[in-house]
Structure 1
Amino acid sequence: MEQAQKARIFAELHRKREPLVLYNIWDAGSARAVAAAGAKAIATGSWSVAAANGYRDGEAIPLPRLTEIARVIVAATDLPVTIDFEGGYAVEPDEVAHNVAQIVDAGAAGINFEDQIVGATGVHPIALQAERIRAIRRVTAARDMPFFINARTDLFLQEADANRHGGLIEAAIERGTAYAEAGASGFFVPGLADPDLIGRICAAVALPVNVMMRPGVPDIATLAGLGVARVSYGPGPYRAMVEWLGRQAATVYGAT
């Protein structure tokens, strides 16, 4: 199946109240395992990919290495693949677009693209982040590629006190609206767990909304009823696998 067709299929899988479930992977082997389990698409998680290759999260894994990992994962499955591309490995819009082009050329159907300032605190101003999204869209449009830009806001992850998340909703909605106008395909709100607040985001933002599963987040059926169109698991699967591996190894070494 050609890349553009995969990208179109991936976009069509984002349906409000019928969320696409993405159990995040980190390499070709985990991609094949998740595909065999019945996944409709494959998604990496930046934390997982970095950890699996001996790096910390936050764009520490070199871009050429990440691009090659993306290429290998795409070759390992017939399913659409989306790559967690963090902040695009640059700040300036044209540099971000140049970097995203490498992920497009690796065969990916989409990316996650976040608004936090990687390596620092806070989030990029809305106008700058919107221009970064526009630059990505120009590059993908030039390739006639219906590439899925999952625009992530880090407002909720950066506020550890969930009781304060209600005060961030209007700012998040403003960002979601601006990102949609700039050409984003989806709106990702990791860290948000309150069902009423998730419902408000889904009702106010035109884009398909992505929620990340973590303790305190409602189950998938509840999220579907709230209007969520995509559910992902972030670093959870990798952490669970590594913990399992550690326990198995301890059993082996403890018996010798």
Structure 2
Amino acid sequence: MFTAQFEQERPRLRAIAHRMLGSFAEADDAVQDAWLRVDRADTSGVDNPAAWLTTVVSRVCLNMLRDRREHAHEMPDPVIEKSEEPEQRAVTSDQVGLAMLIVLDSLKPDERLSFVLHDMFAVPFDDIAPLIEKTPATARQLASRARKRVQDRPAPDADLATQREVVQAFLNAAREGDLEGLVAVLHPDALLRAGALEVVGGRDVAGRASLFRQYATRAEIEFAVIGGEIGFITRVGGRPFSVMAFTVRDGRIAAIHVIQDQRQLASIIP
């Protein structure tokens, strides 16, 4: 019975694990670990398999988060939707945007679990409390603290077509080595993150982005919806080189997140 139930619940369990861990590879590991635990457990007294499986995978994820000395990856894994006209694609209700994943990555493990389970999967605080060895009231406070962090993040422009126009202007300026054109399309306090590199300030980001010209003219560019926002995948010689995700706010680029790790690219590019 539980084999069939587990397979039925697997997509939801993987979604929980991805929101908890921010990595598809780690989410798959967590779900597999949960399955091994389920396979060894006595399930004869389980009367709510879905809730019990949620508890098992959540405990695995919590242990993984607590064991981290630092992030296992520099950027969370966003969901990427490829399309000829990605602005026509809407992010489905079961997806979480890159901006949200970045905020989740900044939370403490108990905060993250309380918020993800309660706010995203409607798990009662009475069921969350034993997982973190706290009272339901404390679990509620942790979720509230995390919720405030999430709500306080600047909201990007909602219209994907407008986002694409801005990102296209960035791409055009980068290809032409047009520093002032890049400055014009960037927020004064724009952020660029690429691996361990972090650059803040529109002109400084523009200076870095102008280096994109070195390979932009020979790179293949494929626009995509990356974590709910417009960005693009670059390939050089037919092989994935990077994913660039853009946060557009008030008609200008507020943040650029670059993923270049080959193992991470392999796990997120459809």
* Higher strand fraction (1 or 2): 2
* Higher helix fraction (1 or 2): 2
Q: Which has the higher contact order (CA 8 A, sep 6+)?
A: 1
Q: Which has the larger radius of gyration?
A: 2
Q: Taking structure 1 as the reference length, what is the TM-score of the superposition?
A: 0.29
